[in-house]
Every structure is written in C-alpha cells, then in structure tokens.
Chains A and B, each alone.
Chain A
Amino acid sequence: MVRRVNRHEDEVVRRQRERARLMAWLLGAFVVLLFLITIAKIGLNR
C-alpha cells in the first residue's frame, strides 16, 4: 500500500513537472508572438 501511494506521488510530481515545462514553452511562444504582432501592426500603420 505504501509503495502504491509513493508511486502515485511520483506520478503526480512527474505530471506537474511536465505541465509546468509545457506551460513555460507556451508562455515563451506567446511573448514572441506578441512581439511579432506588435511589429506587424506598427508596419501596417506606417
């Protein structure tokens, strides 16, 4: 039973890390996208 709970906790940590890493990548991509949108909008208004 103890081993089973440990395995469960390991899986929780693994999934949390995986999601945190994915979220970091997505946020990074969003920042780059916002930057590119700004540049393109400035170009349109010129």
Chain B
Amino acid sequence: MTTTTITATLPADWRDLLALTKPRVMSLVVFTGLCGMLVAPVVPPLVLGFTAILSIALGAGAAGALNQWYEADLDAKMRRTANRPLPAGRMDRQTALHFGVGLAAFSVILMDLAANHLAALLLAASILFYVFVYTVWLKRRTPHNIVIGGAAGAFPPLIGWVAATGEFAPLPLILFAIIFLWTPPHFWALSLFVRSDYAAAKVPMLPVTAGIAATRRQIFLYSLPMAVAAIAPWPLGLAGPLYGATAAALSAAFLVMAGLVLANPATEPSQMRPEKRLFGFSVIYLFALFAALVGDRWFGA
C-alpha cells in the first residue's frame, strides 16, 4: 500500500476543503460584490447585506471547487496548481463534487432568503457560467476562454447592487463591463510568464496559440476600452470627481504598464518583469478603483 493510497482514502481535511474554494480569488469577488452593494442607492439592513455578501462568497467558493473538480487532470500538469488538494491526492474527486454542488445550492438559497429572487438568479447564473461555459466548454477549446469566461468574474458587483435594490441600473452594468474588460489583460499578463505550464497542460491560452508578441498586443488593446469603461461613470454623472480623478490616474498607470509590456521583447519568464509588474498592479488597480467608487459615493461632494 503506497502513501498516496492511504492519503486518498482519508476523509478530506477541512483545510483542503477551504483550499478548494480558492480563497484568494474569493477575496476579490467579495470585495467587488460589497462595493456593488455599497454604491447602490438603497442600503440593506446589516444582517441582510452581510448574508448577501456571504452568499456571493460561498457561490464563488462553489464555482472554484467545481472548477478544481473538473480540472484536476490539468492542474496536475501545471507547477502552479499541482499542489492543489485533488492533483496532490489529498482528496477524492467525489468529495470535491459533492462539496461544490452542495455549496452552490446553499449559496443560491441563502441569497434568495436574504435578498431577492433576481439576485439569487444572477448568483446561480454566474456559478453555472463559470463551471459550464468557462471551465467545461471554453477553457480547453479556444484562446478566447478568458475573454468570454471573464464574464463570470464580472457578476459580483452586479449581484451586490441587485441584492440591495432588486433591479438593474447603468452603474452596476458599467462595473460589470470594467471587470469583463480587465480580466483578459490581467490573465494574459500571468499566462505570459507561466506559458510553459499552459503549453505542458495543452491549455490553448493566447500565448500558447498566438505567440508572445500577439498576446502583448492584445493586452494593450484590451487595456484601452477597460480604461474608458473605468473612467465612464464620471462623465456619465454616475460618480463624482473623486472617483473620476482616481480612475483616470489608475487607468493611466495601467496603460503605461501595458505599454511597457508591449515594448518588452523578452521571451524568457525570468526577463518578464513588466508582465509580472502589470499582473500585480492589475489586482491593486481593481481594488483601488472600486474602493474609490465607494469613497466617492459615501464621502464625495
């Protein structure tokens, strides 16, 4: 009997169940969902708001668990993901599937109880989109996987807003567009310096199928409409000058960094400092942009 067999027959450790939910991705999802709720014209009672955000977090965790359940074979081939609970043999696939499906159902029911049917429907749609459209359908088939699949990650501010108000409005739709357009440059910057991982796992990410130079061009091209969408709430009268100035400064910095990526001729990951810098900054960019929107709504003139 090998060590792996013994480990696989053990009940899953709760820490591995937690790792299955991709807590770092969840933090961004929770933050953008919370901001979507906080910029809404109606502020729900604390306990209902808290439960709605908890539902978004659990829904994101469920989507992450189901993604890892389906992609265990791919994760095993990539250095970045090989130590996840399933490829590392610390959990059996059935546990991950049951956990993911149970958590998804629970999160949608909880959202329906705390907020409204529309928010619950949107949460269910975002989970299903991430699992079936992105993970099952697009990821292994097309280099556009991130472009279309990015919509799943763009749902949280919309869900947060709808949980508070019960209806759609232009501002949360623009927030959706910002994250949708932000996702490709964010992921392509990462995929440039972990290109060999994706190539080994035969995932058709853009740097693998179209090459490094084409990916750098696409990063820059997507950054332009992203910057426009980020600044748009200000001239449209949906946010004040505090947000407008912050969005303009952050977007200018993003474009400069995307420009540096475009100008970088390196093909070795060790020489891809602009790509690594853009990837790190893109996370700060989204956090700062949404924080500025909340600051503008609550403390702006």
Contacts and interface: CB of A to CB of B under 8 A. Distances in A.
Given A37-B47, A37-B51, A40-B48, A15 B10 contact: yes
Interface in B6-20: 6, 9-14
Interface string B104-116: 0000000001100
A12 B14 contact: no
Given A43-B45, A44-B45, A16 B11 contact: yes
A31 interface: no
A19 B13 CA distance: 8
Contact of B45 (A11, A22, A34, A40): A40
A11 B9 CA distance: 11
Contacts of A11: 10
A21 B45 CA distance: 31
Interface residues of A, number: 17
A36 B6 CA distance: 43
Contacts of B51: 33, 37
A20 to B, nearest CB: 10
Contacts of A40: 45-48
Interface in A24-46: 33-34, 36-37, 39-41, 43-44
Contacts of A18: 13-14
A43 B46 CA distance: 12
Given A8-B6, A34-B113, A37-B114, A15 B47 contact: no
A28 to B, nearest CB: 15
Interface in B60-116: 113-114
A17 to B, nearest CB: 10
Nearest to B13: A15
Nearest to B14: A22
A37 B114 CA distance: 6
Contacts of A43: 45
7 contacts: A8-B9, A18-B14, A19-B11, A33-B47, A37-B47, A37-B48, A37-B113
